């Protein structure tokens, strides 16, 4: 071909690309440190399954397969692009192992995937222009990139087709089946015309690829380059387990400006595809609140790019260990406030931490820690919390419960029921962790009474802590008061250790998550944590709880976000209900991983909901539409929210809400 032209083209394109990527790298370095290279085996597994395997995208039928096809085709075509660049220097260049029969197999696959990609591109354009799903933005950039990808495939196919006119005996002819078919279009044309087509397609393909490489870092399609690294470097801890904040040696807490984020958050900004999957069933977004998980990331990215020169300087200073100079530069930088301008304050407080966004993101962006870090700044640095939350925080601080009831009243719910205290027994197989809702909310106290009655009937060796129990810390941590959480968690752990607790059972998914997934970072070791749905199912299956045939009734089960989506417990509560003869279970359209939030998580249980439609009203309407007489749950927060929604929407004659333990108790033989 033309080695000189190829050398100049490669040098210019790669030099420009290297300069852009260097700036993006220094922006990353402006963030705080974050360890993301541990557990390489688990990370590689994520990369293979979620990155290359496109697992999360394939949860969608049409759109998922379309994106997966483009991704796979792009990978296959990349080998061909490298080959074509090499042929700019040597006409018969090929990559190792691809010069013989294996190369012909690759050529067949390359043409096949090129056709698949072209069809997928056409479908994607049709979907964006004609179908126009609500979660997608109709952007010129997206249409340009799709056209660009299609052009890369077309130039490759047409270039080979013209080559087969010039070289009828080429070894790739036949294997490159689509180009072989297209070569018929050049039958009867002059050799010069065919050569002009070949040269035009060849240089167009190489130029388009190199231009594409340089355009990607300037838009949302930067994810083409960053998605796989982002998946590999994703957080490996449970999705609802927040990371421990270190207080020693820090003057500021939480995130009040971009430079407070870890470098991983900047990678999230680069990697967001703006696909809107995170918005699809975000309870706050769906019900008209100002929070859009996508916009949180995009807003932060836009500010990062607007401040890129500053962030590059900060990144270089931090990389050199010149932290004081970096801090001075950060302090002197004028910028719109991150909370209140870049992100609306109401949006930061609206999040229920339900986990939909995290579970649906194809590139594993971690929205929840991002939002909680900003709450931490508001709570601990600015003492700025919603007024409705102040009483709950006061109660959590003074009495270790958000109801602000006297801590001495934590056993009052027991009444005359026979419930063993750990201080009297000294030890038990199971510690029943009652939680604040079970202790102080009269409706949920009935659930705990049902659990204890069932345990007594089955002969379970259990005990409660009573007055020695404190709040698990979930509300405290979710509203951003990390300092108070780091007092509450160790206090409970010390009590657990005092009684040598080895098994904890709780009827609250929020307590379950905190104890199972967050307490280990504070010293809790070798303690099994189970949800009451799991142990109740075991007791029924072992014959320790005998059931009688129940009255015929139709029920629907509501998945708690912290039990289901965050901790993967979907079947046990449903199987408990299935053990009751006479009950017919019907599913709501949004169930299991796609279950819709009740609106109480993330501390929202103790805040007012005065924007948009109430989340629990949205959910109870869906439950009512199933024709069920009862909506069952396995979470105190969900039970409260659904019960309130039934009353507030005048459905008390049609529907009632109960915990699965209450259903089981009613049907004991």
Q: What is the mean pLDDT of residues 376-391?
A: 94
Q: Could you tell me which residue, 218 or 60, shows the higher pLDDT?
A: 218
Q: Residues 381-397, buried b or exposed e (16+ Cβ, 10 A)?
A: eeeebbeebeebbebbe
- Do 388-539 and 546-666 have matching folds? yes
Residue recorded with tokens 């696959």: 109
> Could you read off the pLDDT of 550-559 as tens digits, one per residue?
778 999 999 9
pLDDT value at residue 650: 96
Q: Residues 159-197, buried b or exposed e (16+ Cβ, 10 A)?
A: bbbbbbbeeeebebbebbebbbebbeebeeeeeeebeeb
Q: Which pLDDT band, with edges at 50, 70 and 90, does 133 fall under? A: confident
Residue 463 has pLDDT above 90, yes or no: yes
Paired sense of beta strands 630-633 and 553-557, if any: parallel
pLDDT value at residue 99: 83
Give the C-alpha separation, 174 to 398, whole Å: 79
Give the C-alpha separation, 201 to 203, whole Å: 6
Sheet architecture: strand order including 430-433: 462-463, 430-433, 503-506, 528-531
Residue 138 has pLDDT above 80, yes or no: no
pLDDT value at residue 43: 97
What's 546-666's CATH class?
A: alpha beta
Residue 367 has pLDDT above 90, yes or no: yes
Residue recorded with tokens 């050049």: 186
Q: What percent of the chain has pLDDT over 90?
A: 89
> Could you read off the pLDDT of 72-123 as tens digits, one per residue?
998 999 999 999 999 999 988 989 988 889 999 999 999 999 999 999 999 9
Q: What is the mean pLDDT of residues 409-435?
A: 96
pLDDT value at residue 137: 76
CA distances from 481 to 33, 333, 461, 464, 634 (A): 22, 28, 36, 27, 27
What region, left, alpha or beta, does residue 129 occupy, with left being phi > 0 and alpha being psi -120 to 50 degrees?
alpha
Closest alpha carbon to 164 in 146, 141, 145, 182: 182
CB atoms within 10 A of CB 251: 6
Q: What is the dihedral of CA 573, 575, 576, 580, to 10 degrees?
A: 140
Phi, psi of 294 (to 5 degrees): -60, -45
Give the C-alpha separation, 140 to 118, whole Å: 19
Which H helix or E strand runs over 389? helix 387-399
Q: What is the dihedral of CA 607, 612, 615, 621, to 10 degrees?
A: 140
Q: Which pLDDT band, with edges at 50, 70 and 90, does 61 fall under? A: confident
Q: Is 121 helix (H, G, I), strand (E, B) or coil?
A: helix
Which H helix or E strand runs over 119? helix 101-126
Contact between residue 21 and residue 315 where contact means Cβ atoms under 8 Å apart? no
The model carries a pTM of: 0.92
Per-residue DSSP letter, 339: B
Q: Which two tokens stand for residue 465?
A: 């802590």
What's 388-539's CATH class?
A: alpha beta
pLDDT value at residue 135: 81
Q: What percent of the chain has pLDDT over 70?
A: 100
The domain ranges of the chain are 37-224, 258-382, 388-539, 546-666
CA distances from 12 to 22, 210, 212 (A): 15, 9, 13
Q: Is 253 helix (H, G, I), strand (E, B) or coil?
A: coil
Give the C-alpha separation, 143 to 147, whole Å: 6
pLDDT value at residue 63: 85
Give the C-alpha separation, 446 to 448, whole Å: 5
Q: What is the mean pLDDT of residues 515-530?
A: 97
Give the C-alpha separation, 616 to 598, whole Å: 5
Give the C-alpha separation, 351 to 609, whole Å: 11
> Could you read off the pLDDT of 319-360 as tens digits, one per residue?
999 999 999 999 999 999 999 999 999 999 999 999 999 999
Mean residue pLDDT of the chain comes to 95
Name residues whose C-beta falls within 8 Å of residue 259's C-beta, 6 or more positions apart in sequence: 30, 31, 32, 311, 314, 326, 330
137-151, 181-195, 238-252, 332-346, range with greatest mean pLDDT: 332-346
| CATH code matching the domain that covers 37-224, chosen among 1.10.3210, 1.20.950, 3.20.20, 3.40.50 | 1.20.950
Closest alpha carbon to 42 in 264, 356, 518, 364: 364
Paired sense of beta strands 656-659 and 430-433, if any: unpaired
Give the C-alpha separation, 91 to 96, whole Å: 15
Q: Which pLDDT band, with edges at 50, 70 and 90, does 223 fall under? A: very high
Give the C-alpha separation, 372 to 392, whole Å: 18
């Amino acid at each position: 071909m033309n080695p000189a032209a190829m050398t100049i083209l490669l040098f210019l394109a790669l030099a420009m690309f290297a300069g852009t990527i260097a700036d993006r790298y220094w922006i990353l370095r402006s963030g705080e440190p974050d360890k993301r290279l541990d557990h390489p085996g688990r990370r590689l597994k994520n990369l293979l399954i979620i990155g290359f395997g496109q697992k999360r995208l394939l949860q969608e039928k049409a759109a998922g397969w379309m994106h997966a096809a483009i991704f796979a085709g792009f990978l296959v075509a990349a080998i061909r692009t490298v080959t074509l660049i090499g042929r700019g220097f040597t006409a018969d260049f090929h990559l190792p192992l691809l010069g013989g029969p294996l190369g012909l197999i690759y050529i067949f696959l390359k043409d096949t995937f090129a056709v698949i990609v072209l069809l997928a591109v056409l479908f994607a354009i049709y979907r964006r222009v004609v179908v126009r799903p609500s979660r997608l933005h109709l952007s010129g950039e997206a249409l340009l990139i799709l056209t660009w990808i299609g052009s890369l495939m077309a130039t490759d196919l047409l270039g080979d087709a013209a080559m087969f006119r010039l070289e009828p005996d080429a070894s790739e002819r036949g294997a490159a089946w689509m180009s072989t078919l297209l070569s018929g279009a050049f039958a009867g044309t002059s050799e010069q015309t065919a050569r002009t087509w070949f040269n035009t397609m060849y240089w167009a393909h190489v130029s388009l690829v190199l231009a594409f490489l340089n355009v990607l870092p300037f838009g949302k399609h930067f994810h083409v380059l960053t998605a796989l690294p982002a998946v590999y470097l994703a957080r490996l801890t449970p999705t609802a387990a927040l990371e421990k904040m270190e207080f020693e040696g820090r003057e500021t807490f939480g995130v009040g400006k971009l430079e407070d984020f870890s470098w991983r958050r900047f990678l999230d900004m680069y990697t967001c595809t703006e696909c809107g999957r995170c918005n699809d069933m975000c309870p706050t977004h769906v019900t008209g609140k100002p929070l859009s998980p996508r916009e949180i990331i995009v807003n932060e990215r836009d500010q990062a790019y607007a401040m890129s020169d500053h962030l590059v300087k900060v990144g270089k200073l931090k990389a050199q260990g010149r932290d004081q100079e970096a801090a001075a530069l950060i302090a002197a930088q004028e910028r719109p406030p991150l909370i209140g301008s870049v992100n609306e304050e109401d949006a930061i407080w609206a999040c229920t931490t339900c986990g939909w966004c995290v579970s649906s993101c194809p590139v594993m962006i971690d929205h929840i820690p991002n939002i909680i870090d900003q709450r931490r700044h508001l709570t601990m640095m600015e003492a700025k919390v919603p007024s409705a939350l102040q009483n709950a925080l006061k109660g959590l601080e003074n009495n270790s419960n958000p109801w602000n009831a006297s801590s001495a009243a934590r056993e009052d719910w027991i009444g005359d029921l026979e419930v063993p205290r750990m201080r009297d027994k000294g030890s038990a197989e199971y510690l029943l962790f009652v939680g604040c809702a079970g202790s102080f909310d009269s409706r949920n106290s009935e659930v705990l009474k049902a659990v204890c009655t069932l345990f007594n009937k089955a002969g379970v060796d259990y005990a409660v802590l009573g007055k020695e129990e404190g709040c698990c810390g979930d509300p405290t941590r979710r509203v951003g008061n990390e300092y108070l959480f780091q007092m509450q968690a160790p206090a409970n752990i010390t009590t657990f250790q005092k009684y040598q607790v080895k098994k904890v059972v709780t009827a609250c998914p929020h307590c379950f998550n905190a104890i199972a997934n967050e307490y280990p970072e504070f010293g809790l070791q070798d303690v099994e944590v189970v949800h009451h749905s799991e142990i109740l199912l075991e007791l029924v299956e072992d014959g320790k709880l005998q059931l009688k045939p129940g009255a015929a009734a139709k029920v629907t089960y509501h998945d708690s976000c912290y039990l289901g989506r965050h901790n993967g417990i979907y079947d046990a509560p449903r199987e408990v209900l299935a053990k009751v003869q006479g009950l017919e279970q019907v599913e709501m359209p949004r169930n299991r991983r796609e279950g819709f939030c009740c609106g109480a998580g993330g501390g929202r249980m103790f805040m007012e909901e005065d924007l948009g439609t109430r989340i629990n009203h949205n959910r109870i309407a869906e439950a009512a539409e199933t024709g069920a007489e009862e909506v069952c749950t396995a979470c105190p927060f969900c039970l409260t929210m659904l019960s309130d929604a039934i009353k507030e929407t005048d459905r008390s004659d049609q529907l009632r809400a109960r915990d699965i333990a209450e259903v089981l108790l009613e049907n004991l033989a």
